[in-house]
């Protein structure tokens, strides 16, 4: 049956195609690895990576099993992402309400946000060495901008008549922000936090390559110095899977909030 190319495929077809994508990728990888064109040391087969992964779950590598490395990464991640959300969202909303705050923060922010999270690594290393502060600072730098920008946009695009209603009822600035701008901006804030979460996770692993003594990035960099390509690739797989799971979880939260507001009036 002819179909508009933009309409989503039926679910079964979608699953088929994504399975085919994975199969093609792993098939090609396995073929190249089996052909002997690339030395096994640099391109191990998929099964070699899988069996190394199993090994890492039970026997420690550079002090910890892969689960423990992941746990320590996730701890830092939660701290950095939590801080970014806790500062970015209220600040963004307040900037959306107080014009002077907008004028103070925006020029500064517009400059700082172009310093990539990874560019904070040398500074973080100087300040914190391999302590927890370094990775937390770097993930904060990755996660903060979308949290702030989306809260700010949400606050700016609140329906004017709700703001007028709030002012008419005598709401103070703090009450306007907490009880009008915040609830009205929830969809935008959650969308922003989803982007924050992804960027934060990406920056965290980058940070751990340099300024940590545990964690999934640390595992990878040690794998590299031991010329254990399987270990490095196990780290990459773990990053991909966890990142994907974080995104799925947040997408669920987002969908639930949209559903709850689906029948919202006006």
- In whole angstroms, the minimum distance from the beta carbon of 223 to another protein comes to 49
For 49, the token pair is 């990576």
Q: Which is nearer to another protein, 7 or 264 (CB)?
A: 264
Question: What residues between 70 and 99 interact with another protein by CB under 8 A?
Answer: none
- In whole angstroms, the minimum distance from the beta carbon of 120 to another protein comes to 37
Question: What residues between 176 and 205 interact with another protein by CB under 8 A?
Answer: 179-180, 183-184
- 173 counts as binding another protein under rule CB under 8 A: no
Torsion of Cα atoms, 203 then 206 then 211 then 216, to 10°: 100
List the one residue from 165, 236, 245, 249 that touches another protein (CB under 8 A): 165
Rounded CA-CA distance 177/92 in Å is 10
Q: Which is nearer to another protein, 11 or 263 (CB)?
A: 263
List the one residue from 170, 225, 248, 259 that touches another protein (CB under 8 A): 170
DSSP 31-62: HHHHHTSS-TTTS--HHHHHHHHHHHHHS-BT
- 24 counts as binding another protein under rule CB under 8 A: no
Rounded CA-CA distance 45/55 in Å is 15
Rounded CA-CA distance 104/92 in Å is 12
From the list 92-100, 104-112, 173-181, 239-247, the region that binds another protein by CB under 8 A is 173-181
Number of residues that bind another protein (CB under 8 A): 22
Rounded CA-CA distance 211/125 in Å is 6
What crossing angle do the helices spanning 121-128 and 182-208 adopt, rounded to 10°? 80
- 226 counts as binding another protein under rule CB under 8 A: no
Residues that bind another protein (CB under 8 A): 159, 161-162, 164-172, 175, 179-180, 183-184, 261, 263-266
């Amino acid at each position: 049956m002819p179909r508009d190319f933009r309409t989503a495929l039926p679910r079964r077809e979608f699953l088929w195609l994504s399975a085919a994508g994975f199969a093609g990728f792993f098939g090609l990888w396995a073929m190249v690895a089996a052909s002997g064109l690339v030395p096994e040391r640099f391109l191990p087969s998929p099964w070699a990576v899988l069996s190394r992964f199993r090994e890492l779950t039970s026997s420690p590598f550079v002090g910890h099993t892969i689960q423990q490395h992941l746990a320590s990464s996730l701890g830092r991640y939660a701290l950095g992402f939590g801080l970014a959300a806790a500062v970015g969202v209220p600040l963004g909303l307040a900037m959306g309400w107080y014009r002077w705050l907008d004028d103070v923060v925006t020029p500064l922010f517009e400059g700082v946000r172009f310093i990539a999270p990874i560019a904070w690594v040398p500074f973080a290393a100087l300040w914190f060495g391999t302590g927890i502060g370094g990775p937390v600072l770097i993930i904060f730098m990755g996660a903060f901008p979308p949290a702030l920008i989306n809260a700010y946009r949400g606050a700016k695009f609140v329906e004017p008549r709700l703001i007028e209603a709030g002012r008419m009822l005598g709401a103070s600035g703090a009450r306007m922000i907490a009880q009008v701008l915040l609830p009205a901006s929830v969809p935008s804030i959650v969308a922003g936090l989803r982007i924050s979460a992804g960027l934060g996770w990406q920056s965290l692993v980058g940070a751990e390559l340099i300024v940590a003594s545990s964690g999934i990035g640390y595992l990878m960099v040690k794998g590299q110095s031991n010329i254990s390509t399987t270990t490095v690739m196990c780290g990459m797989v773990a990053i991909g899977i966890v990142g994907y799971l974080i995104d799925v979880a947040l997408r669920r939260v987002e969908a639930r909030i949209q559903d709850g507001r689906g029948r919202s009036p006006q």
